[in-house]
Amino acid sequence: IKNIGVLTSGGDSPGMNAAIRAVVRAGIYHEVEVTGFIRGYEGLINNDFVNMDRKSVANIIQRGGTILKTARSEAFNTVEGRKKAYDNLKANHVDALVVIGGDGTFRGASVFSKEYDFPIIGLPGTIDNDLEGTDFTIGYDSALNTVVDAVDKIRDTAESHDRLFVVEVMGRDSGLIALRSGIGVGAEAIMIPEANMDVDDILHKLDHSRQDKSSKIIVIAEGDEAGGAFAVAEVLQKKYPQYDTKVSVLGHIQRGGKPTCMDRVLASRFGVAAVEGLLNGERGAMVGQINREIVFTPFDHATKHIDAEKVSSTWLKLIDILSF
């Protein structure tokens, strides 16, 4: 392998720049050229790339977003799109790829790597932390800290006005952001898709949570089936007219901002492991960290999933105990 392509794809996450930097620096260390493709798989198809050197990744470890930009490519899902991508890679003498993204990114990588027998390693970059094959994804810790910071502020005003807040956090198919941030902010209850809780369960929890606390905060994952923060707030307002119930949807602020040190270190470690993995013959797999060890999980297993360990009843009980 003489030239490794790197790209970021799908939703961005804080720490992606640290990952790009690590791939480039590891390439330079191992005397391999690195080519950066712009807007994920779109860059492969449109032949949109930059040659990366030591300087092109200077001063980016602390920056949110991705300097290579990102996209969810429809064209890469087609045979013709992938053929263009392959032809461009060949023409540019790029002989391996590091793709940074979530499970959609890996699905594309899996198809492409089998179709063209092309070496690809994936890096888990998503704030959702919903991938099999790693304890943590790049960006999860930063997003959690953004949520905690925002909800601490909401708590100040909620407490002053004796209000009940329903705070909606990201996680299309996963409640992991809601789960940890909920514990971190001392939420009275959380609602996540994995727990199958309806509004009645929340009412029950609120009735049994600390009655002497003047504010109440419910953290709800956007993917929860209860109908979203506004629908839940409406029911709560009727049941507890004594509270002025408010909704706050945190939205895309969770995707931006400086990555935390944990995410920078994780991304740096993954980036180097990806390059060294490729040079050692690893391919068709995602780099992850399980119990502090670097592991490679085949793309077909590095998918979104509900892990009983990650969202176990132990976690949910913790919230009950802490808000009782």
- Binding residues for ligand F6P, rule: CB under 6 A, are 11, 102, 126-128, 170-172, 222, 255
Catalytic site residue from 12, 95, 117, 128:
128
128 known member of a binding site:
yes
CB closer to ligand F6P out of 188 and 222: 222
SS3 309: coil
Beta carbon of residue 303, minimum distance to ligand F6P (angstroms, whole number): 13
15 known member of a binding site:
no
189, 207, 219: which is closest to 317 by C-alpha?
189
Alpha helices in 222-312 (DSSP H): 229-239, 261-279
- CA angle, corner 176, sides to 156 and 230, nearest 5? 55
SS (H, E, C) 31-70: CCEEEEECCCHHHHHCCCEEEECHHHHCCCCCCCCCCCCC
Beta carbon of residue 34, minimum distance to ligand F6P (angstroms, whole number): 26
303 known member of a binding site:
no
CB closer to ligand F6P out of 119 and 171: 171
Beta carbon of residue 14, minimum distance to ligand F6P (angstroms, whole number): 11
CB closer to ligand F6P out of 7 and 57: 7
Beta carbon of residue 102, minimum distance to ligand F6P (angstroms, whole number): 6
SS (H, E, C) 140-160: HHHHHHHHHHHHHHHHHHHHH
Q: Which residues pair with 200 in a beta bridge?
A: none
90 known member of a binding site:
no
Query: Residue with the closest Cβ to ligand F6P?
Result: 172
Please state, in angstroms and rounded to a whole number, the distance separating the CA atoms of residues 11 and 173. Answer: 14
Is 207 an annotated catalytic residue?
Answer: no
Which residues contribute to the annotated binding site for substrate?
A: 126-128, 163, 170-172, 222, 246, 252-255
Question: What positions carry a catalytic annotation?
Answer: 128
Which residues contribute to the annotated binding site for Mg(2+)?
A: 103
Which residues contribute to the annotated binding site for ADP?
A: 21-25, 155, 186-188, 213-215
